């Protein structure tokens, strides 16, 4: 139990650091839109998501309806359903219903990615360790950004914008190098993402990610079904 928790924390350090910088920006953004430091921090602590929070603050600032808030969150965050479903297949038997209810809170792009890349099954303590350090980074960054957005020089805060993407590359590149099936899926998904970004621009970012991921993984699963041996090695 203890060691899995600390292993999770350890694996969560890059996530926590990345979140610290990203949520710093969120804190500044929230205060600019008329929220207090406490409200901004409460949003970060209760949502633990980047794009959804930014869109949510926009709805609040524009005094939008609750229906609008619900729809915006659904569209932007529905990708978490896909991740949760994928991760549900990788849970150890010790992951009982109360643990699932608790750990659901922390399914973010990054935590999902790092958990998925782990060999073998995931135990609750591992996820809790990772969620804890990530959430601390996320909330702390929000507090700092909201209360003292000007302290960091712009050159530093802008360079931190690449941290999480760098981590994503570190997750997808090594398996892409070793398996042509994974390489195929990542390349197809990236090409479709470019298409949505520059041609089919009427599709929102949240939807575009879902469409790219479902199509790329769907074609990949059709062309390269995962064999039982391959499954065992993960």
What is the spatial distance between Cα 136 and Cα 23, in angstroms, rounded to a whole number?
A: 11
Contact between 66 and other proteins (CB under 8 A)?
Answer: yes
Tokens of 185: 């899926």
Minimum CB–partner distance for residue 80 and other proteins (Å): 5
Tokens of 11: 């694996």
Minimum CB–partner distance for residue 14 and other proteins (Å): 4
Contact between 169 and other proteins (CB under 8 A)?
Answer: yes
Considering only residues 3-22, where is the footprint of other proteins by CB under 8 A?
A: 11, 13-14, 17-18
Contact between 62 and other proteins (CB under 8 A)?
Answer: no
Contact between 163 and other proteins (CB under 8 A)?
Answer: yes
Contact between 109 and other proteins (CB under 8 A)?
Answer: yes
58-52-139-135 Cα dihedral, nearest 10 degrees:
170
Minimum CB–partner distance for residue 136 and other proteins (Å): 16
Among 7, 54, 58, 82, binds other proteins (CB under 8 A): 82
The three-class DSSP label of residue 89 is coil
Give the closest residue to 71 by CA, choosing from 206, 193, 201. Answer: 206
On whether the CB atoms of residues 95 and 122 are closer than 8 A, the answer is: yes
Contact between 130 and other proteins (CB under 8 A)?
Answer: no
Contact between 141 and other proteins (CB under 8 A)?
Answer: no
On whether the CB atoms of residues 5 and 125 are closer than 8 A, the answer is: yes
Considering only residues 175-234, where is the footprint of other proteins by CB under 8 A?
A: 175-177, 181-182, 185-190, 192-194, 197-198, 208-209, 212-214, 216-218, 220-222, 224-226, 231, 234
> How many CB atoms are closer than 10 A to CB 185?
24
Among 1, 166, 200, 201, binds other proteins (CB under 8 A): 166
On whether the CB atoms of residues 31 and 149 are closer than 8 A, the answer is: yes
Contact between 139 and other proteins (CB under 8 A)?
Answer: no
| Residue 91, beta-bridge partner list | 122
């Amino acid at each position: 139990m203890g060691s899995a928790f600390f292993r999770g924390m350890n694996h969560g350090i890059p996530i926590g650091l990345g979140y610290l910088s990203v949520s710093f920006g969120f804190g500044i953004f929230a205060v600019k839109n008329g929220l207090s430091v406490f409200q901004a921090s409460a949003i970060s602590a209760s949502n633990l998501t980047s794009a959804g929070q930014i869109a949510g603050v926009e709805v609040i600032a524009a005094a939008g309806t609750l229906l609008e808030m619900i729809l915006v969150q659904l569209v932007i965050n529905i990708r978490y359903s896909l991740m949760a479903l994928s991760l549900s297949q990788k849970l150890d038997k010790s992951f009982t219903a109360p643990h699932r209810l608790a750990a659901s809170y922390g399914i973010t792009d990054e935590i999902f990615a790092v958990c998925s890349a782990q060999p073998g099954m995931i135990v609750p303590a591992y996820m809790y360790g990772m969620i804890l350090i990530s959430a601390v980074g996320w909330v702390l960054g929000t507090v700092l950004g909201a209360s003292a957005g000007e302290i960091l020089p712009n050159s530093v805060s802008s360079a931190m914008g690449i941290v999480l993407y760098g981590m994503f590359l570190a997750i997808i590149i090594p398996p892409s190098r070793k398996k042509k099936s994974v390489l195929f899926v990542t390349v197809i998904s990236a090409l479709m993402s470019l298409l949505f970004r520059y041609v089919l621009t009427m599709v929102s970012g949240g939807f575009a990610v879902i469409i790219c991921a479902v199509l790329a993984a769907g074609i990949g699963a059709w062309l390269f079904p995962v064999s039982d041996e391959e499954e065992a090695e993960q």
